A and B are shown apart, each in its own frame.
Chain A
Amino acid sequence: MLTQIIAQGLSVGAVLALSALGLTVIYGVMGVVNLAHGEFVMLGAYSMAVLSEPLGPWAAIALTPLIVGAIGLVVDRGLIRWLYQNPVKSMLGTFGLGIVIRQLVLIAEGPGLRYVDLPITSSVAILGEQLPVWRLLLIALAVVTGVLVALWLSRSAAGLKVRIATVDADVASALGTNVSRVNALAFGLGTALAGLAGALVAPLNSVYPNMGVSYLVGAFLVVILAGLGSIRNALLWAAGVGLVTSAVAVPQDDVLAQVVVWTLALVIVALRRQTLVVSRV
């Protein structure tokens, strides 16, 4: 049972990590609290639903972050850029954005559940337990993505600009960085990560317009615990939340698991001196 708990916990954590990563990049870089983040996960799931049959699942998974990231760029230019560095305004703005996206998808696709084919339905025996291969893939992809994003931020020129802009936007623009463009890039990246999460969960679940809400809540939980801006922390805390959830849910039930997770989160946050720890990206 322990292997099941760990594998299950890590796969839940993987999805949390991908959504939390996007959220933390967006806040870390441009100070926007993106309450529509769950909707980008949902858009990723729908992109997978629409593309995986004609193009095959792997092409669909590769394309989805690009598509959702592109939508993110458009949204950034159209709405988000009025909301930079303003948490309250951005919450209101993105809350409305979330409603608009949900309704547009509802109108375009209808309220019914969409089916996405699970590309790998087999399971593999590890340490005496049967583990679904797809979930293992999810974990691997989350880790790889997290590492790639961290490397990009720390090693590439664009990443450097993003980090400077995070620390001090005025200094960055004085140094010649187009801060507005950096913000757009960050929003595109953040939403692309959300879209990837959506594409990966779509085959395991159901795809419907309101599915994004629970991903937003989970992502926020991880971001609050991990602190905004640190990718490594986001990955670790996502894994932690996933493991605690499954440690309670497997022997008991999922509702109790939620109670335990949120109570622990409250205690941890209460014991810290700051509510929201902000660290360097």
Chain B
Amino acid sequence: MNISKHRAFLLLTAVEVAVVVALVAHARGVAADLAATHIPAKREVAARLGLTDLAIWTEARYTRHPSQTDLFSPFQDFPSSLEHFPAGSVVGVPDLTAFRQPAEP
């Protein structure tokens, strides 16, 4: 069978769009299932144990608990030190726009 090039292209594009739509629909279905099951269960774990951070980087205090770490400039252990832990490179600079001022007496 001889199929013209534009038909083949349009067919290929339609198949690609269908695959993207199917993957996105699948992802949304999985997300909805997880939101209904695992997310509340994980939130319960965080609430019961009083957890404040995700257990992703266990190399150092400031990577294990980025939200609880000391108020240093990021990742300086001593003057002129180079970055020890690759995970440090993943973390961005802190957002200081909402830096809280002491309340008026």
Decide whether A and B are members of one complex.
no
B residues whose Cβ falls under 8 Å from a Cβ of A: none
Chain A residues within 8 Å of B, Cβ to Cβ = none
